[in-house]
Structure 1
């Protein structure tokens, strides 16, 4: 079968190099280095993709994607405004909210927290908080007879643990006094007290469990002395969470009220930024590892060129073009990059697809917990393999390994037949 001379020479030299020697060791080390670099980079990128997906699917399932909060006067006729917001093509749902900051007390224990007054039905359209209830029912937050007198409150598991309360326990909600005259006449204004009952406990993970509680919208309106048509703000759920800032701005600009514009990147954006920073740093580090391994090919080919100086001289004497000699050594060096990239890519894909299970097995074997649900919003290592990441990693490795072959192959074309053959 006909073979181009360059390809024939390349494979002949590769087979001869496999016999042994120091050049074979350097060649194998470069191949292994490229494979490890490609494998680790694919695994790291998959883990970062997994964290991004977990951030979008889990944390942002109860953290509002966007909010428009009234600056001075409360929002009036919130139902009409919520319906208008939904007409935006990128808004999935909207719901009213009233925000309160205070403390809850049970016996001698106190805990500061943020209380959200929410609508029973609409809140479930913008938040998945009901999926994380571990005690009680969402519906018990409301009173069917007189909504404004609803005594139920749903708290996070961290708050319940701090106060030592469980389902059905009575607690007191302490809010700052809003009476201006009292604030002027009394040095330490007496906080307003509201008696509530624990109607539910949720467990989400992270600091959310320690800082967040829910009461009914009607109860929050009663506390702040608002009418049923008045709220502090409206929350929105968007179709593309990473475009939430621009979508929320569009909603606010079309809003006929003076409002603050909030989105999840202002409260939880540091998590996303951290993920992107780690992703970029790890990509640079692993590319440098691949580069170091690739440039081992330079050493290998230079040694091969020195060994084959006689062969090169004879080939050039017989009329072989310099391009033929150069391509032969380029192909020989590219084989290291091809084998390393392919094997590293296959191993990286296999490990990335099973990274969560492997991580869990390591935790079980050593009896340690690397990601605690009490600190982070997840207690496992997520993974998501993206085809473009695999392709980009392999292509980068192939390009770098190919570039590493150019100089040694060019050196091979500079062998002078007369000088070499005269020494034989």
Structure 2
């Protein structure tokens, strides 16, 4: 085996131009795979982070409209027990509609209250505050940036809210937030859980329990586990995949198109390697014939070209990984939005890169089977006789 390896290495060194050309072809194939894969993955990760990364991914709420979860802490304990490894950032939310009453006009809003610390993992409100601070005390609220602009409100102003039950309350604006979603900035008014529970008169009850999971694409499976664990017909468990079918379809389409491109790129690389090595058999037929005449058996002669394919694959994969990472970094660095941020964030999945490199090596080795089989059929005497 060592002899076959040494001969394969010598053949590659004797045709440096041809070797460099094959290595370059493999490297381009691997780099395209890594670049497209990293680009699509980075785009999907960015899209998911912006849409569901800062929102509830699974929600447990009462089946009946207007009802409340009366013992939220007990339900939260049951929910966490359903899948403790996946479920994270669980928060109880109390919410209800209210009317903002001003001297100029009125507006319908959604008043939401939760424990700020518990909600931080999902909504990251401390980072969303653009002016002022979180509403920590009774009768304090924070409002959305668009809502403040539309009604000309600012930190320190006091507004009056009216519930559907005609209860009124005055609230001090302590902060203005930006959730980067216009509809939420215009309709949400947030406060601490105790203040909202008292104003909406829900007692200890909450409107829903929201949470996130470690693997956002497993949200539907985790939701099913939670539903089984709760075993309560009065509660409904929903997840973001059910409510964002169009987004999920788009992500699946991106993944499928990326996979198809990568498959065809690799097929072209395999065909290129097989054709070049087949020509190499013709070029080296005299040397192979002499070696076989001196006693080299067909399996060892075939191994020479299999080792060639393996070595070419390893070299091409190494160069391709470096080139692919460089292309991904360049795209993320120089292709930017008007505000200077990266259009698609730089994302490297080392497991994907390892798989791409492994496929390249395996494909190169398999491509060498064609010339290896051809070598095994060479008649050494006929080759030497014909020169």
- TM-score, normalised with respect to structure 2: 0.78
- Post-superposition shift, 1:119? 4.2
- Please give the per-residue CA displacement for 1:50-107, whole angstroms capped at 9, x wherever unaligned: 5666577776564123221112262253345355446626255543323446787989
Tell me what 1:186 maps to.
Answer: none
Contact 2:29 2:266 in 1 (8 A): yes
CA RMSD of aligned residues (A): 4.1
Change (3 A) 1:308 1:231: closer
Change (3 A) 1:103 1:296: farther
- Post-superposition shift, 1:110? 8.8
Matched, 1:327 2:303: yes
Change (3 A) 1:260 1:400: same
Matched, 1:35 2:22: no
Q: Match for 2:141 among 152, 155, 160?
A: 152
Structure 2: any 5+ residue segments left out of the alignment? none
Contact 1:153 1:196 in 2 (8 A): no
Matched, 1:236 2:218: no
Q: Match for 1:16 among 14, 17, 30?
A: 14
- Post-superposition shift, 1:241? 4.7
Matched, 1:416 2:384: no
Contact 1:82 1:95 in 2 (8 A): no
Contact 2:134 2:142 in 1 (8 A): no
Matched, 1:69 2:61: yes
- Post-superposition shift, 1:399? 1.0
> What does 1:51-200 align with in structure 2 at a 5 Å threshold?
60=52, 62-72=54-64, 74-75=67-68, 77-82=70-75, 84-85=77-78, 88=81, 90=84, 91-92=87-88, 94-100=90-96, 114-120=110-116, 122-124=118-120, 127-139=123-135, 142-143=137-138, 150=139, 152-155=141-144, 157-161=145-149, 165-169=153-157, 198-200=173-175
- Post-superposition shift, 1:321? 1.9
- Post-superposition shift, 1:196? 5.8
Q: In structure 2, what is the Cα distance between the partners aligned to 1:39 and 1:259?
A: 50
SS of 1:369 mapped into structure 2: coil
- Post-superposition shift, 1:124? 4.0
- Post-superposition shift, 1:299? 2.0
Tell me what 1:184 maps to.
Answer: none
Change (3 A) 1:255 1:35: same
- TM-score, normalised with respect to structure 1: 0.72
Which shifted more, 324-333 or 241-250?
A: 241-250
Contact 2:95 2:206 in 1 (8 A): no
Which shifted more, 5-14 or 336-345?
A: 5-14
Tell me what 2:350 maps to.
Answer: 387
Structure 1: any 5+ residue segments left out of the alignment? 144-149, 180-191
